[in-house]
Structure 1
């Protein structure tokens, strides 16, 4: 073997460039790799090397930590240094002990001495980057799954990544964001307002801890400009830039209304903006949407075609073969904006169905359309003009924001506040705001918890 590779850390004087201290962290043999497994460092080896580098840096930094003690806090006398105490510090992938200077009062009658720690000096022993990762995992997965994921990243189990810790921190950070989201959105500057805005609202159900109920509903809204709908291919589109509002609060929709208004304003809504709003027909969604009316120029509410089509799909087995054409005729009239004729045709169809179960399905469809008739439009005309009439482009948001976290983990039950807090983080991740906003709420939650 002709060469070896040494990983060395040097402490160097900035002025003279003299090497004050040199430590060899690791020595690697350089040999031909027999397989891909021997090419580079394995996962565990990378974590181990990172831990050694962190320890070297922490050893140098710890001597410079200011504990804030100039005089004895009890009697005001001078203090003497009394060695160092080891305190926990949890970095992103590794755990460490940091030596922090201790002090003792020079007054023999006082005899006060400090017991410094990273939590005392900095407000927390957890690095914010680790807390950010814990919140992301806790918001996107079950808390136990988050614990497992984080332990896989670091190769071994870390008590700091316990699912209870993740749950508490995720809830604290979500609560901070929830409060921040109540603050009024900044006034739209000249040139940044939008003449048109699209808003879509929907809801998803969350299992509840309430023994008298099976679930409660969380509402979600997304606001975006028409020009931000980007085609991916002939059949799929995505929203390039959007703002989200999501709430599970049981407060008569007041929080959701504020969040939705702020989301619309973030996208440039002013009193001159024409808003097109789409919903699935639920009254709570319309209530939230209609609350925007005083804040915009006009508000066009549309029962979106995606949910209409789903309703027709659900009753396709309700009609006899002889009436299939009639049902398609009802749908055709709705598509062409002839809602009165469609409802008459559907009502006539119900009277000719003898099976009570099939008639009930048609009755539900009829009631759904009748209750939302004020929001039925000429969908064919809007389609020809390239105008919005369906929420399909944003329908996956409900799965992403609510269903994936709450319905896929059926064993867990939630309170309104608990679900609401987690949803705030999920909303920021979905709308690509988390990267810019995470630091302040994470720091507030860490210091508050300590």
Structure 2
């Protein structure tokens, strides 16, 4: 069977061009793999069609932009230079003409212009940039380049370095779209404006936690990533992430993130963190309706470690060990019910009791050290302790367990903690911006904001909706 695929282009003015052959195939039918187009045939067909379609579009655009502004005089051509436009369906090679400018329009010694650079400033099609960004946010750069080359006719123009450059360029554009420096939703807001705010949708919960990855500059050290997830009562959850210390204005980032999610200044906001100084400071003064809650999961995790020490003590000194276990149960009960005063009192008493114990228990010193650390931990986060039992019975979140899963999803599965991949702070920070938006599904919306034409997918349904 002989198959010839023809392409005919009709101009904006209705001019019908000649039908041009873009592919000629010889097909046999003996096995299942012979049916339809093969991957190689489809790549060749798409690349050939893309070359001719883009050429026709560019020629039409250049014809409209060749005339002098104001006078309407046709500009004289000085020649052209080659330009490669990287698209999803192949690298399209074009001729970019240069035109002489009239003397009255020449500035700073500039006598010619190249109009095509206005249409193609980055030499990359937005949809290709989007797909590279999306895939490289999910898998390593080299794997993303291989995947693109496997399914699209772009093998000659894609590699790990190119993909990385495109992804980081996209992330830098996201960084440039951040709002001005603000540390609170109240900055620049008149209190009288509150009366005009609609009724908020409900409480929003933001969980923040840290993760560590290998430092490329000092390979014996790690640096910290802060990642989180914001969860409204209604609507989709969103991810946020940045490199601690690299981002000098993290509160501005959180405010911008919440605004994009529809948060308003008079809405209840709860931050749940592990109580670390870095993440706790981020939650301060963000909103007048915000609160910081110490994660119950991290409290119980520390108490569990203390209980293990106390159980070890039981084997060497039963009375002291059982007394320590009982006191830890009381401490946990006080904390669960928000009785901070009694909890701190019991913690102080247990610290003194442990200091007075004379036992051969080999881990007694570690037990004392862990107990003192717990004493400092609770004292430092006293203002963030709540009545966890009451909050739990009312169906509200008291744990950042969902953030632990977020750390795994955002950090471990892409930054390859187990494989000891190494990162620069800039590279990790920028990749976090595209990865978080890819994971929560908001990356496409960002591209459609930058490139409104991406909303139009030329489908029949879209055409009917637009009509």
Q: TM-score with structure 2 length normalisation?
A: 0.73
Instruction: List aligned pairs for 1:50-449, cutoff 5 A.
Output: 50-66=46-62, 70=67, 86-101=82-97, 119=117, 122-154=120-152, 157-159=155-157, 161-183=158-180, 190-191=197-198, 193-211=200-218, 214-225=221-232, 227-228=233-234, 240-248=235-243, 250=245, 255-292=249-286, 295-297=287-289, 299-314=290-305, 317-321=308-312, 322=314, 323=321, 325-326=325-326, 327-328=328-329, 330-339=331-340, 340-341=342-343, 343-344=347-348, 346-347=350-351, 350-351=354-355, 354=361, 355=363, 356-408=365-417, 410-415=420-425, 417-439=426-448
Q: Deviations over 1:155-207 (max 9, x none)?
A: 77333x23222233322322221231234789997436345332222222243
Deviation at 1:91, TM superposition (A): 0.8
Deviates further, 204-213 or 88-97: 204-213
Q: Secondary structure at the match of 2:271?
A: strand
How has the CA–CA distance of structure 1 residues 118 and 316 changed in structure 2, closer, same or farther, with 3 Å as cutoff?
farther
Distance 1:172 1:391 in 2: 33
Deviates further, 7-16 or 170-179: 7-16
The RMSD of aligned alpha carbons is 4.0
Q: Secondary structure at the match of 2:62?
A: coil
Q: Deviations over 1:79-104 (max 9, x none)?
A: 65577654322111412222445668
Deviation at 1:51, TM superposition (A): 0.9
Q: Deviations over 1:380-434 (max 9, x none)?
A: 221111122112234322223334333536232313x333222222232234321
Distance 1:279 1:328 in 2: 23
Q: Secondary structure at the match of 2:291?
A: strand
How has the CA–CA distance of structure 1 residues 346 and 387 changed in structure 2, closer, same or farther, with 3 Å as cutoff?
farther
How has the CA–CA distance of structure 1 residues 307 and 24 changed in structure 2, closer, same or farther, with 3 Å as cutoff?
same
Greater relative contact order (CA < 8 Å, ≥ 6 in sequence) = 1
Q: Gaps spanning 5+ residues in structure 2: where?
A: 103-109, 315-320, 453-467
Residues matched between the structures, number: 412
Deviation at 1:217, TM superposition (A): 2.3
Q: Is the Cα–Cα contact under 8 Å of residues 82 and 93 in structure 2 kept in the other structure?
A: yes
How has the CA–CA distance of structure 1 residues 213 and 383 changed in structure 2, closer, same or farther, with 3 Å as cutoff?
same
Deviates further, 162-171 or 342-351: 342-351
Could you tell me which residue of structure 2 aligns to residue 236 of structure 1? none
Q: Is the Cα–Cα contact under 8 Å of residues 101 and 113 in structure 2 kept in the other structure?
A: no
Distance 2:179 2:220 in 1: 28
Q: Deviations over 1:217-247 (max 9, x none)?
A: 232343332x23xxxxxxxxxxx52344433
Distance 2:74 2:21 in 1: 40
Distance 1:118 1:92 in 2: 19
Distance 1:138 1:279 in 2: 29
How has the CA–CA distance of structure 1 residues 201 and 59 changed in structure 2, closer, same or farther, with 3 Å as cutoff?
closer
Deviation at 1:127, TM superposition (A): 1.1
Distance 2:74 2:267 in 1: 66
Please, which of 4, 8, 11 is the counterpart of residue 9 of structure 2? 11
Q: Is the Cα–Cα contact under 8 Å of residues 209 and 273 in structure 2 kept in the other structure?
A: yes
